[in-house]
């Protein structure tokens, strides 16, 4: 797989590439958990297993979240790009098997369009670094589950206030 990856200094110069503002907007529309998984991977360079352990999520959820990010970063209606994105994410998983790597190689060799779609997926992934830095500028994504929602906290506070009323301590 490493020989398929492009050099880091290769910048996306395609007409289909979205600009940073459009990518940032697309990332902001994703659920907070998806954003958090993406930022932990992209900015902190944590692998899927480390993210899964840190957030107490199954590896398949991490893969699904990363697929959502790539889907948001590509033009809609491009089915081949979707398949390339799925392969790109799956190959990063520690659960990828040798058979899957062989299947990927067969898919890649089946048509020149497959290689081009995978190449564009790599470029798309690289183009997400700038918007990722903007999205995670205040490091909110490094906090645990409590940082994502106040729902559980609100319930606890509500129960505490109800208990105070019930016991007559609230006056």
How does pLDDT run across 39-89, given as a tens digit for each residue?
999 999 999 999 999 999 999 999 999 999 999 888 776 788 999 999 999
pLDDT of residue 10: 45
* pLDDT the model gives residue 159: 66
Residue 124 and residue 160 in one domain: no
Cα→Cα distances 151→30, 31, 33, Å = 19, 15, 14
Q: Which residues neighbour 111 within 8 Å (Cβ) at sequence distance 6 or greater?
A: none
45/110 same-domain check: yes
CB 158 within 8 A of CB 152: no
The reply to whether 49 and 98 lie within a common domain is yes
Place of tokens 């992209």: 42
Q: What is the pLDDT of residue 157?
A: 66
Please give the model's pTM, rounded to 2 decimal places.
0.71
Residue partners of 95: CB distance under 8 A and separation at least 6: 59
Any residues with CB less than 8 A from the CB of 133 and at least 6 apart, and which? Answer: 43
Domain that holds residue 169: 144-171
Helical ranges in 43-97 per DSSP H: 48-55, 59-73, 79-90
Is residue 2 pLDDT above 80, yes or no? no
* Residue of higher predicted confidence among 14 and 115: 115
- In this structure, the answer to whether residues 87 and 130 fall within a common structural domain is yes
Instruction: Answer yes or no: is pLDDT of 105 > 80.
Output: yes
Residues 157, 81 share a domain: no
Mean of all residue pLDDT scores within the chain:
82
The answer on 149 and 133 residing in a single domain is: no
Q: How many domains does the chain have?
A: 2
Query: And the tokens for 146?
Result: 């409590």
Average pLDDT over residues 126-134: 92
């Amino acid at each position: 797989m490493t020989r398929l990856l492009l050099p880091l200094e290769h910048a996306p110069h395609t007409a289909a590439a979205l600009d940073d503002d459009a990518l940032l907007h697309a990332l902001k529309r994703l659920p907070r958990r998806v954003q958090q998984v993406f930022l932990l991977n992209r900015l902190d360079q944590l692998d899927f297993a480390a993210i899964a352990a840190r957030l107490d999520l199954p590896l398949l959820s991490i893969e699904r979240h990363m697929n959502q990010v790539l889907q948001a970063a590509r033009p809609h209606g491009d089915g081949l790009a979707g398949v390339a994105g799925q392969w790109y994410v799956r190959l990063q998983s520690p659960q990828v098997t040798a058979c899957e790597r062989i299947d990927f190689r067969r898919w890649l060799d089946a048509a020149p369009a497959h290689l081009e779609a995978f190449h564009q997926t790599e470029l798309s992934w690289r183009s997400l670094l700038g918007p990722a830095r903007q999205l995670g500028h205040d490091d909110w994504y490094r906090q645990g589950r409590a940082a994502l929602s106040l729902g559980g906290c609100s319930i606890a506070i509500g129960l505490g206030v109800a208990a105070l009323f019930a016991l007559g301590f609230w006056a």
